[in-house]
Amino acid sequence: MQIARINRLTPYFFLAPAIIVMAVALLYPIGYMVWASFLDWNPSQRIGEADFVGLRNYAKLLNDAAFLESFWVTVKFAAVVVVLEMILGVGLAMLLDRQLRGMTLLRTIFILPMMIAPIVVGLMWRYMYHPSVGLFNRTLKSFGLEPVPWLSDGTWAFASIVIADIWQWTPFIFILSLAALQSLPRSAMEAARIDGASGWQLIWFIKLPLMLPVLIVTALLRLIDAFKVLEVILVMTNGGPGLSTEILALRISRTASEFRELGTAAAMSNLLLILLMALTLAMFTYTKISEARAARLRAAASKDH
């Protein structure tokens, strides 16, 4: 039947505009990037004029010490900030999950850092880390302590960007953890108190296990974000000193603009994209598995009384 077929197709007509926008805005650039990664392409050339070099860009990257260093810095950065932010964010949520006067205001203040534009965050921290007029060194000096080379020493610079990132993104974990905490079943918590659980045991045996699904997704979201971080570090250290804080995104932008190797930059972007896709897939798989498990449990419960 003609009409039935049109009816069946209706949803796709409605979806079409979104698909077209997606294709133009997302798939086209990605395709362009993938294609570019196979080219030896200089910004002064048009893409058609560049030489096709196959997988040579990728092969070069795997032997490029600077790239590997960058990759390592990124992984280290992501791992360190996510672990620390999870501990701090969940800890704060546990502390602030109570009815106190002014708690709403306090919570709002806690999530402010997240709302500030990254460039501004970078500038702010750069001023605070300034070797002579920065807040930190002036404070140290007023206590008669030696100034710290916040951004001029490799190890300190890495620590400095970690601190800035923790300052900005702990609130994200905090609000998600708090929401998870507040949606936990009250009565299970009360039952545990009657069963004799102390505050720590309550957290360890009841709250954390019940929050775990949310925490896993939160950690993965943060990890994905941490791999893409750019602006704050760009403003604070621009990757220096040396390569100590040169995360991948920065390396990519420098490869493209300073070294003028668009093909190599595209290849790096692809590697990063693959990594992020793997993380995203891990997250989707996790939610799918937990949904399937919940469905199975429900089915088992309704089957037998």
- Closer Cβ to another protein, 55 or 295, answer by number: 295
CB atoms within 10 A of CB 222: 23
Contact 162, 80 (CB under 8 A): yes
Question: Cβ closer to another protein: 209 or 242?
Answer: 209
Sign of the Cα torsion 28, 31, 37, 39 reads negative
- Encoded tokens for 263: 């093909």
CA distances from 90 to 22, 44, 51, 75 (A): 36, 50, 51, 22
Q: What distance in Å separates the CA atoms of residue 34 and residue 273, rounded to the nearest whole number? A: 10
- CA gap 156, 134 in Å, rounded: 15
Taking phi over 0 as left and psi of -120 to 50 as alpha, with beta for the rest, 39 belongs to beta
Calculate ∠ Cα 20-222-269, nearest 5°. Answer: 55
Q: How far is the CB of 88 from another protein (least distance, A)?
A: 24
Cα 220 to Cα 81, 87, 93, 269, distances in angstroms: 12, 14, 18, 20
Nearest distance, CB of residue 284 and another protein, angstroms: 22
Kindly tell me which of 288 and 293 has the beta carbon lying closer to another protein. Answer: 293
State in angstroms the smallest separation of the CB of 40 from another protein: 55
For the record, the structure tokens of 212 come out as 């775990």
- 184 contacts 211 by C-beta, under 8 angstroms: yes
Q: 123 vs 203, which CB is nearer to another protein?
A: 203
Dihedral (CA of 141, 146, 152, 153) sign: negative
* Of residues 75 and 189, the one with the C-beta less far from another protein: 189
Least separation in angstroms between CB 185 and another protein: 7
CB of 93 to another protein, least distance (A): 19
- Containing H/E element for 143? none
CB of 291 to another protein, least distance (A): 13
Query: Measuring CA to CA, how many Å separate 221 from each of 47, 63, 169, 172, 183?
Result: 34, 30, 11, 10, 20
Rank residues 30 and 297 by Cβ distance to another protein and give the closer one.
297
Residues of the shown chain interacting with another protein in the complex, contacts defined by CB under 8 A: 185, 187-188, 190-198, 201, 205-206, 209-210, 212, 294, 297-298, 300-302, 304-305
Task: Tell me the closest approach of the beta carbon of residue 17 to another protein, in angstroms.
Answer: 41
Apex 212 CA angle, 210 and 215, nearest 5: 135
Could you tell me the smallest distance in angstroms from the CB atom of residue 296 to another protein?
Answer: 8
| Residue among 228 and 296 whose Cβ is closer to another protein | 296
In this complex, which beta carbon is closest to another protein, that of residue 108 or of residue 187?
187
